[in-house]
Structure 1
Amino acid sequence: MTVAAEVGTADVRAAAERFGLVGRPVCLHSALSSFGRVAGGADAVVDGLLAAGCTVLVPSASAVFAAPPPAGHTPLPHNSEDDGSIPAAPPAAGYDAAGDTVDRAMGAIPRAVLARQGRSRGAHPLSSFAAVGPLAEPLVAGQSADDVFAPLRELAERGGAVVLAGVGLDALTLLHAAEEDAGLRLMVRWARVGDATGPVAVRHGGCSRGFERLAPAVAHLERAGVVGASRWRTYPAAELLAAAGAVFRRDRLAGVCHDPGCRRCAARIAETGGVIETR
């Protein structure tokens, strides 16, 4: 069995050149473990992209700030409020974009970005994006509780790209933005923000476990290769947003998973009035 060589900053920079990412903002969805041995860890990956002139944008979700809805709230139709993601009690503290709290599931690279001096972070308390590099602040400045995907649209407008490093399309948040562009409603949750005592309503994407089914429709946009042991799939953000949006306009259930127990997808099916086979 061939063992991949150790990856370092220079290898990531070379990969950015190979994939045409030099000087562009890049939204990176990643699993550091997929690289194999990395000299310098998560920081080496970030450094390699920065050395190529990229701005590195990463998801930095923080579900710990989720809160129950306000007293007297009437459940919204087709919002999958019974999916188990809404806590019974509010968190002890509120979200602060200056903080570094992030879900463990986001991985090591988002934590490394958040630890960087001069990084910027969006204002969405549950599904923020963080960025470092020359375009960091412009990328995340428009994000709010009501506009969760603003950083991805800014990425697209600035000629950016998305990179999947060792993860699949089910990690690609931009596909939720494409759903929204196609007229599909976002889910609504609540969160504690800053010193506010009452919950704030926020919008975010639903289930993404079925997104790999879109692979054939966006294959013409994909550039794939290997960095160390990590399989990379890169896409131009604007073109991917348009292509995926077209898929969701043709088939509003194109992204649902086939898990009969998925309440988020059940809500999506109910919203569209669709019927889908389970397997």
Structure 2
Amino acid sequence: MTGVVTEAEIAEGLGSLGLDSTSSVLVHASLRSFGRVEGGPEAVCRALLGTCGTVMMVSGTWEQTGVPAPPGLVRPQNTYYNAASWAAFDEELENAVPFTPDLPVDPWLGRIAEVMRLGFAHERSTHPLFSFLAVGTHARQLIEAQRLEWPLGPIDALAELGGHVLLLGVGHTSNTTIHLAEQRLGRSRFYRYAKVAPQAWAELPNVSGASHTFDEIEPELRPVTAEVRIGDCRARLIAVEDVLSCATRLIVADPAALLCEDRDCRCGAALEQRLAVLRG
């Protein structure tokens, strides 16, 4: 393990990847991966914003707003649990909260995204489960690209800007852009449910599924990946279009690419969705 990592060292590492004020990035990050950061997550945020023109992060609220599927509502190839009864569903609904722009980012997405929300002027989308936040030049353009029926729209917009995926101490299992490639091919398009107002819930389409085998894409992306070490953090930068092209090529060649073999997993349902598209 290295010593303390400073904000300046983080900025220097980001610059060595080729990032500058013209860069737009979707960041997936682990604070712990750096080792000890002088200034904590705020320093990481400042380094990102001081280096890049636009920074976007996933800021989902699944754990707070999500509810099970109601009793009896079963969509084909959806692999989601139903409440055991309407009484149980109503209890889950009561315990959930509707999305608001000041709702905290779910902890599993990491401290850096939450500190970005708390400490920096940002734009945030309003999807009840899967919001994004963005700061910088193109923030509003990216956030406005999200629609309820197409949650990953901000990544579409980032691709149009020639943007990049920045992985800071995390693997491709966190690389949401791979899900966009899947969904363009009719795979990993699930229905999920969220509280949207007191005593009101909504069914939301095209929510992405499992990603636990996405690290299998790494050898294919290695030729187009820039990589440096920042403290203990393995930092990788890949163009969004390169991620999309690579994942698309793999899935077109093999409908089961980047999925596990457990047919009871969401991977099995995602495969069936893709096969249904191929059958027409």
Alpha-carbon deviation of 1:70?
Answer: 5.2
Alignment of 1:1-279 (within 5 A): 3-23=1-21, 24-63=23-62, 64-69=64-69, 73=73, 75-82=74-81, 88=89, 89-90=92-93, 91-96=95-100, 98-194=101-197, 197-258=200-261, 260=262, 262-273=264-275
Work out whether residues 168 and 234 of structure 2, in 8 Å CA contact, stay in contact via their aligned partners in 1: yes
Distance change in 2, residues 1:201/1:77 (3 Å): same
Alpha-carbon deviation of 1:273?
Answer: 4.9
Matching residue's letter, 1:40: G
Question: Structure 1, unaligned stretches of length 5 or more?
Answer: 275-279
Alpha-carbon deviation of 1:123?
Answer: 2.1
Question: Structure 2, unaligned stretches of length 5 or more?
Answer: none
Distance change in 2, residues 1:246/1:83 (3 Å): farther
> In 2, Cα distance between the equivalents of 1:72 and 1:82?
10
Matching residue's letter, 2:254: D
Work out whether residues 193 and 200 of structure 1, in 8 Å CA contact, stay in contact via their aligned partners in 2: no
Alpha-carbon deviation of 1:92?
Answer: 3.9
Q: State which drifts further: 168-177 or 122-131.
A: 122-131
Aligned with 1:188: secondary structure? strand
Distance change in 2, residues 1:134/1:180 (3 Å): same
What are the superposed Cα offsets for residues 205-254 of structure 1, whole Å, 9 maximum, x if unpaired? 11100111111222221111100110111101122212211211111211
Work out whether residues 193 and 201 of structure 2, in 8 Å CA contact, stay in contact via their aligned partners in 1: no
Aligned with 2:67: secondary structure? coil
> In 1, Cα distance between the equivalents of 2:251 and 2:15?
32
Matching residue's letter, 2:249: A
Work out whether residues 188 and 207 of structure 2, in 8 Å CA contact, stay in contact via their aligned partners in 1: no
> In 2, Cα distance between the equivalents of 1:232 and 1:212?
15
Aligned with 1:56: secondary structure? strand
Q: State which drifts further: 37-46 or 98-107.
A: 98-107
> In 2, Cα distance between the equivalents of 1:268 and 1:71?
23
Matching residue's letter, 1:206: G
Q: How many residues align?
A: 267
Distance change in 2, residues 1:27/1:262 (3 Å): farther
Distance change in 2, residues 1:194/1:43 (3 Å): farther
Q: State which drifts further: 161-170 or 200-209.
A: 200-209
Name 1:277's counterpart in structure 2. none
What are the superposed Cα offsets for residues 92-115 of structure 1, whole Å, 9 maximum, x if unpaired? 42112x213221111110101111
Alpha-carbon deviation of 1:262?
Answer: 5.0
> In 2, Cα distance between the equivalents of 1:159 and 1:16?
17
Work out whether residues 21 and 161 of structure 1, in 8 Å CA contact, stay in contact via their aligned partners in 2: no
Alpha-carbon deviation of 1:25?
Answer: 1.1
Q: State which drifts further: 63-72 or 219-228.
A: 63-72
Distance change in 2, residues 1:47/1:83 (3 Å): farther
Work out whether residues 6 and 38 of structure 2, in 8 Å CA contact, stay in contact via their aligned partners in 1: yes
Matching residue's letter, 2:38: A
What are the superposed Cα offsets for residues 12-54 of structure 1, whole Å, 9 maximum, x if unpaired? 2212211111121111111100001101111111101111133
> In 2, Cα distance between the equivalents of 1:43 and 1:190?
33
CA RMSD of aligned residues (A): 2.2
> In 1, Cα distance between the equivalents of 2:57 and 2:151?
13
Q: State which drifts further: 64-73 or 221-230.
A: 64-73
Aligned with 1:115: secondary structure? helix
